[in-house]
Amino acid sequence: MTSVLLLAGGCGTGAQSSASATDATISLWTRDTQKEFINLVADAWNESHDTKVEVTLVPAADFIQKLATSATSGNAPDVASIDLVYLPYFASTGTLEDITELADDLPYKDSLSPSHRALATYNERTYALPFSGEASVLIYNKSLFKAAGLDPEKPPKNYAEIISAANKISDLGPDIHGFAIAGQCGGCNVFEFTPHVWASGGEVLSEDGSQARFDSQEVTDALTFYRRLYTDGTMPAQSRTDNGTHQPAVFQTGRVGMVPLGAFYTQVLKQDSDVDFGVAPLPGKNGGWSSFAGGDEIAVMKNGENKKGARDFVTWATGEQAQKVLADNSITPVRNDLTDEIYVPLDPRNKLFAEAMEKGRTPYSTVEHQLFNDPNGPWIQMINKAVFGGDIAAAQKEGQEAAQAIIDRAPQGTNARGNR
Amino acid sequence: MTPPTGLGRGAAPRRTPARAGVRLAGAALTAPALAMIAVFFYVPLVTMLWMTLHDWPLLGERRFVGLRNYRDALDDVAFRNAVLFTFEYTLISTPVLLVLALALALLVRRSGHAARFFQGLYFMPVVIGLAAGSFLWLFLFQSDIGPVSHLADRLGLTSRNTDWFADKTSALLVVIAMVTWKVVGLQMLLLLAGLQAIPAEVEEAARVDGANKWQTLRHITLPLLRPTLALVLVFSVAGSLLAFDQFFIMTSGGPTNSTITAVYEIYRTSFIQFKLGLGATFSALLMIVLVLVSALQLYLLRSSEPGSEP
Amino acid sequence: MITYSFKSPSEAVAAPPTLYPHDPSLEHYRALAGNGGIDVLDNVRNSVVVSLGTTLATLVLSILAGYGFARLRFPGSNVLFFATLVTFMVPFQALVTPLYLLLDEFGLLNSLLGLTLVYTTFQLPFGLFLMRNSFAAVPRSLEEAARIDGCGHLQTLVRVMLPVAVPGVIATGLLAYFTAWNEFFAALIFVNEQERFTLPVTLSVIAAGALGSRNWGVLQAGVTVTIIPCVIIYVLLEKYYVGGLLSTLKK
């Protein structure tokens, strides 16, 4: 019964066995998908500081749950590197330390990624600093472009050109496909599909996040575009059930002409395959382009023990030393005052990623996870049903209703609630 | 499996002080295990039931809402669909498992090296974790890179590009095949233990009386096996009704959310929609269903409990 | 699967798949050994400690209680026995949050002991079931003989009952070991520090690629590493197990 009483009383007090034992260490949690570079960042800090950063990699699929569970007790880490789309949620629940003054004092605050800054703001207070960038682009196989008689230096600039190129590439052989998507991965498709909508002048959420726009004309056009790619037979069969594992793997084998993916993937391509690839912006229906400006932000946890160390570390993480470690590992920096110097020279293709971080957008919602990233949620179900089922109007209607219901049920609306 | 009860019953009542000692010893020996279960199962269970009365977000403030979660749970279309799918899965997988396990148990029943070898072989997958097994089968059936898809292509059955998980029926079949491979060995073993408890003379007597193999099985073996069958059935049905990992890993609930089980929906509600109170309510409802289903099975297959004297 | 794990990264995703590695490579295992600063050996040791601890605790508790439930019946023992079986009726996912809060209160979060206790609890019902049935099958005459020789309850259990119930003991122990060895969800939620992770959690971390992608080759290597010890232990004990089963039958 004592535990029940404790629960009724609110958050646990648990002073014991915290993730950060002493002031000499700073515990940092991040998703396992960051493992390629996060330890290098930690090493860079450890070499130049007396305190030590201890990294814990958490399986990405369970990251929110684990961070949230720990935040309700005294077991939270000092610092967490969080996918920027989840910041409004964590900020709205009072899990993160308000670091508005710290952020405002940064001399380079205006050079930080605009999307990151927007997502870290909740009720005009700042709860995290930008850490790593990740923008979506169209990655294409230059050898297949050549083989199909396309100009590898002139990637497609609108829906019609992509469809035409995908068909020409698919015609090269039964095992060759023009275009691959991850049709059962919500996170992938908010990253890869929404830029088409934005580039065509549409929205998926209203500005304040209070209205879903899944039924807009621009979404219809983009769905019709994907549907056409599928019915023309340019997609591999696995695209329909791919939860994100197949799409990059199959491009790596050199049998797919185009995939919408991000900067992180170019590192994999350079390491593990000999595919000659190019990068291009994700276009709108009749031209123009957009991108999903994603990545991670780094936040001080309210229940962490080593607040001072945490503040020092998040500040340092936006600095030149840390950002250079990212750039060296094909991760887009979040400082546009540095990109020309430390990032773009490493690979000419990086220029597009840097530009996309500036121009890109990110949906702002405290229920982003339920709307978009949930692999069984309304966004990906709409896309899957429309693209592979064919009834686009019905899929949109159903998606819109489900999404709006989630938004309406979200406690207190999106940006209205005061900081607890 | 009727134990020779006469002896024990006759001996005990004569010495009542010893009987009290037996009770005390029984209580003392079972206490540690019961204490563990009380602390690490019943206390959390009570907490869970307490949660069902609250609007309990993963983060943020919780509010007492009385029975509202129960009303919401009964109205929840997604949960209802998940429950229906879970029943569908259970109704298909249970007979498959039980019949196959019984057939295997009868096959490996005789002594000898071959029988022993196959006992070991069939049981082997049981030691492999459900998650590891799911990943293994997911890989085997991957189109393009999976060996089974390749084999089916070679045999001219399907194309190598066939996506087994794009269709609800074939996805469900692959999952059931994996679960059968993984679980049938354990069920076989339990049934085997039951079979070996049947005295050989009983069946021999039947055969001497002119019953053929099938008749012996139907009229002698199966009725005697009833308590074991009931046990295996209860475990099997409970396992199927609580299925989660295999669908989470292999189908991710797809295609188009058609393979979401009840526990999958509980997971989604609790940890994707962050509604722990509603998730706990689903769990409580599922628990009630499970208790009822198990009680019904035990009632239908009731017979004298092995080794339970008054 | 084993052959897959030895393929080079590009061969692992080749289509059509190759039957055996044409270009054998330890790269996937190297990825396991030195990935992102994770010390896999540490995690293997954690898994061994937790699994052995769970096995031992489950065995001791279920042998004692199994005997109690089978032979030393007391008022309410039937009800209590059935109360343990209720653990099969509740999805573990629903108990994760309450258990988290409970372990937190005991200071057992982030500890292998806490994990062992949780695993033991959820292994106990099946262990109790198996042990109770094993003991119930032992002829009463054996027990009576021991009693007449002046043995107490514990002595009777250890000297007379236990040797006869060896198959049940092995089955209970094996199941507890394998379950603890393979468990993922509780291990993930209840342990925070990387050096205390168990193997399944670590493998999931290692096989993950960016944005939800999965490295099939590394995953196969990881699954191989998880499965092999189980299969070896099983093959070693399987003979003993079958032999024990047969010997009980001869009696």
Residue B148 main-chain phi, psi, to 5 deg: -65, -45
How many contacts (CB atoms, under 8 Å) link A and B? 91
Q: Is the pLDDT of residue B12 over 50?
A: no
CB contact under 8 A, A57 and C205: yes
Q: Taking CA A301 as the corner, what is the angle to CA B270 and CA A119, rounded to the nearest 5 degrees? A: 75
Helix (H, G, I), strand (E, B) or coil at B155: coil
- The pLDDT confidence band at residue C20, using thresholds 50, 70 and 90, is low
Write down the pLDDT at residue C17.
Answer: 53
Chain B 189-248, CB below 8 Å of chain A: which residues? none
The whole-angstrom distance between A392's CA and the closest CA on chain B is 14
The closest CB to that of B254, out of A241, A374, A389, belongs to A241
Chains touching B (at least 3 CB pairs under 8 A) are A, C
Under 8 Å between Cβ of A165 and A256: no
Asked if the Cβ–Cβ distance from C65 to B32 is below 8 Å, we say: yes
User: Could you tell me which chains touch chain A, where touching means 3 or more CB pairs under 8 A?
Assistant: B, C
B28 at interface of A, judged by CB pairs closer than 8 A: no
Of C9, C109, C205, the CB nearest to A35: C205
* Length of chain B counted residue by residue: 310
Flag whether residue B124 sits within 8 Å of chain C, measured between CB atoms. yes
Distance from C-alpha of A286 to C-alpha of A283, rounded to nearest angstrom: 8
pLDDT at B66: 92
- pLDDT tens for B87-140 read 999 999 999 999 999 999 888 887 677 877 887 788 788 878 888 888 888 888
Interchain contact B174–A (C-beta under 8 A): no
Cβ contact (<8 Å) for A69 and C35? no
Spans in chain A with pLDDT lower than 50? 1-22, 412-420
Q: What's the pLDDT score for residue B33?
A: 94
**Chain B residues within an 8 Å CB radius of A376:** 252-254, 257, 260, 268, 272
Mean pLDDT, all residues of chain C: 78
Please report the residues numbered 214 through 253 in chain B whose beta carbons come closer than 8 angstroms to any beta carbon of chain C.
231, 235, 238, 242, 244
The DSSP symbol for B55 reads E
* Residues 6+ away with beta carbon under 8 Å from B198: B1, B221, B224, B225
Strand A256-262 relative to strand A177-179: parallel, antiparallel, unpaired?
parallel
> Are A241 and B256 in contact (CB < 8 Å)?
no
Judging by DSSP bridges, how do beta strands A177-179 and A282-284 pair with one another?
unpaired
- The one-letter amino acid at C75: P
For B253, name the nearest residue in chain A, comparing CA atoms only: A376
Q: Find the mean pLDDT for residues B58-75.
A: 91
| Contact across the interface for C16 and B160, Cβ inside 8 Å | yes
pLDDT digits (tens, 9 = 90+) for A141-162: 999 999 999 999 999 999 999 9
Residue C129's identity, in one-letter code, is F
Which residues on chain B are in Cβ contact (under 8 Å) with C12? 145
pLDDT of residue C3: 57
* pLDDT the model gives residue C24: 55
Region of B36 please: left (phi>0), alpha (psi -120 to 50) or beta: alpha
> In the prediction, which pLDDT does A7 show?
35
Of C84, C93, C137, the CB nearest to B244: C93
Examine the pLDDT at C5 and tell me if it is beyond 70.
no
> What does the DSSP 8-state code read for residue B13?
G
Q: Which residue of A has its CA nearest to C185?
A: A62
Residues of B in contact with C73 (CB under 8 A): 22-23, 26, 309
Chain A interface mutation, best of C11, C192, C194, highest count of A Cβ atoms under 10 Å: C192
Q: What is the pLDDT of residue A4?
A: 35
CB contact under 8 A, A69 and C189: yes
Quote the CA–CA distance of A266 and A277 in Å, as a whole number. 9
**Closest in C13, C192, C194 to A70, CB measured:** C192
Q: Which two tokens stand for residue C211?
A: 């944005």
Query: What pLDDT is recorded for position B162?
Result: 77
**A377 CB near a chain B CB, below 8 Å?**
yes
Neighbours of chain C (3+ CB pairs under 8 A): A, B
Q: What is the pLDDT of residues B247-263, one digit of tens each?
A: 988 888 878 889 999 99
Q: Does B115 contact chain C (CB < 8 Å)?
A: no
In chain B, residues 270-299 whose CB comes closer than 8 Å to chain C? 270-271, 276, 279-280, 282-284, 286-287, 290-291, 294
Are the beta carbons of A222 and A197 closer than 8 angstroms? Answer: yes
Minimal Cα–Cα distance from C37 to chain B, Å?
24
Q: Do A252 and C104 touch (CB under 8 A)?
A: no
Which of A3, A39, A57 has the CB atom closest to C105's CB atom? A3
Euclidean distance between CA atoms B212 and A223, whole angstroms = 65
Nearest CA in chain B to C119: B40
| Residue from B64, B272, B276, B278 to probe the interface with A (highest A Cβ count within 10 Å) | B272
Search chain B and give the residue with CA nearest C90.
Answer: B287
Question: Does A175 sit within 8 Å of C13, measured CB to CB?
Answer: no
Q: Is the peptide bond before B255 cis (omega within 30 degrees of 0)?
A: yes
Nearest CA in chain C to A55: C194
A254, A273 contact by CB (below 8 A): yes
Grade residue B197 by pLDDT with cuts at 50, 70 and 90: confident
Q: Flag if B160 and C124 touch (Cβ within 8 Å).
A: no
Name the residue type at position A200. S
Question: Which DSSP helix (H) or strand (E) runs through B134?
Answer: helix B130-140
Residue with tokens 């049998």: A255
Q: Is it the case that residue B305 has pLDDT exceeding 50? A: no
Whether C178 sits inside 8 A of B45 (CB atoms) is no
Mean pLDDT, chain B, as a whole number? 84
Query: What is the distance, to the nearest Å, from the Cα of residue B300 to the centroid of all Cα atoms in its chain?
Result: 18
Do B256 and A377 make contact, defined as CB atoms within 8 angstroms? no
Task: Tell me which H or E stretch contains B64.
Answer: strand B63-64
Check A36 against C10: CB less than 8 A apart. no
Rounded Cα gap, residues B241 and B152, in angstroms = 31
Chain C: which residues have CB within 8 Å of chain A? 9-10, 13-15, 35-38, 97-98, 100-102, 104-105, 107, 109-111, 188-189, 192-194, 201, 204-206, 208-214, 216
% residues pLDDT > 90 (chain C): 19
Choose the closest CB to C64 out of B33, B48, B116: B33
In three-state form (DSSP H/G/I as H, E/B as E, the rest C), the secondary structure along chain C is: CHHHHCCCHHHHCCCCCCCCCCCCCCHHHHHHHEECCEEHHHHHHHHHHHHHHHHHHHHHHHHHHHHHHHHCCCCCHHHHHHHHHHHHHCCHHHHHHHHHHHHHHHCCCCCHHHHHHHHHHHHHHHHHHHHHHHHHCCCHHHHHHHHHCCCCHHHHHHHHHHHHCHHHHHHHHHHHHHHHHHCCHHHHHHCCCHHHCCHHHHHHHHHECHHHCECHHHHHHHHHHHHHHHHHHHHHHHHHHHHHHHHHHHC
B166:A237 CB<8 A: yes
Question: Is the model more confident about C243 or about A48?
Answer: A48
pTM over 0.95: no
Q: What are phi and psi of A275, to 5 degrees?
A: -70, 130
**Which residue in chain A is spatially nearest to C100 when comparing CA positions?**
A69
B188 touches chain C (CB under 8 A): no
Please state, in angstroms and as integers, the Cα–Cα distance from residue A283 to each residue in A141, A145, A177, A225, C39, following that order.
17, 18, 20, 12, 44
8 Å CB contact of C89 and B235: no
**Closest CA in chain A for residue B64:** A8
Name the residue among C89, C120, C178 with its Cβ closest to that of B36.
C120
Closest chain C CA to residue B290: C89
Which band of pLDDT confidence, cut at 50, 70 and 90, is reported for residue B14?
very low
| A268 within 8 A of A277, measured Cβ to Cβ | no
Looking from the CA of A33 toward its CB, the CA atoms found within 13 Å total 22
**Per DSSP, what are the bridge partners of residue A36?**
none
